Chain A
Amino acid sequence: DIQLTQSPSSLSASVGDRVTITCRASQTISSYLNWSQQKPGKAPQLLISGASSLQSGVPSRFSGNRSGTDFTLTISSLQPEDVATYYCQQSYSSPLTFGPGTKVDIK
């Protein structure tokens, strides 16, 4: 099974700050890495697919990047509505797996 590790597990930042979350895969997954945002009591919402493709309707302050088996999600200017837990997920091979999540809140 492909393991995904995320760092940090939580972070607190100020409005307007640049925030970066890292996801590392235990083996190659090409670019089959997706990022989702989950707010409390809600279903996850896909933000980025294929490591760097922003989904329609997602603010442009969100971006994704890949370097080998390391992936990053960046929020260029943190907004209050970005308070949520962020999960990476690989769709390269079965069983599909999720990272443990990164909880983001406002300082």
Chain B
Amino acid sequence: QVQLQESGPGLVKPSETLSLTCTVSSGSIRSYYWSWIRQPPGKGLEWIGYIYYSGTTSYNPSLNSRLTISVDTSKNQFSLALNSVTAADTAVYFCARGGLWQPLDYWGQGSPVTVSS
């Protein structure tokens, strides 16, 4: 059973960079897409972006200019960096396996992130 675990700070200051890492266990990161999704308090799910294990990425156009997703196959990890954050970026951030033509079939438990000074 594939398991995903998000890690990173729970509090980020406005204008700084939000950085999260997702560690994949009990399965290889190869041959799959890996996505980040977020959910603001009381709201629905928003897809942030995905990365293929080879490094190909696709981002939500609304976040594209501030977003970088990277992968480290040697550590079975992929990461998210969102810069110039504001209070609107406050959300629970989920990592998941899946992306283009692949369902989001395994999810991390979610990492709450608050943007506040």
Chain A residues within CB distance 8 Å of chain B? 1, 32, 34, 36, 38, 42-46, 49-50, 55, 87, 89, 91-101
Contact = CB atoms under 8 A, between A and B. Distances in A.
Contacts of A55: 105
Contact of B45 (A45, A87, A93): A87
A43 B101 contact: no
Contacts, number: 61
A91 B58 contact: no
A96 B101 CA distance: 10
Interface in B74-117: 94, 98-105, 107-110
A-side binding surface: helix, strand, loop or mixed? loop
Given A34-B104, A36-B104, A46-B103, A98 B98 contact: no
A90 to B, nearest CB: 10
A33 B8 CA distance: 31
Interface of B: 35, 44-47, 50, 58-61, 94, 98-105, 107-110
A49 B107 contact: no
A44 B104 contact: yes
Given A43-B108, A94-B58, A96-B35, A32 B101 contact: yes
Contacts of A94: 50, 58, 100
10 contacts: A34-B104, A43-B94, A44-B104, A46-B103, A46-B105, A49-B103, A89-B45, A89-B47, A89-B103, A94-B50
A100 B44 contact: yes
A19 B38 CA distance: 28
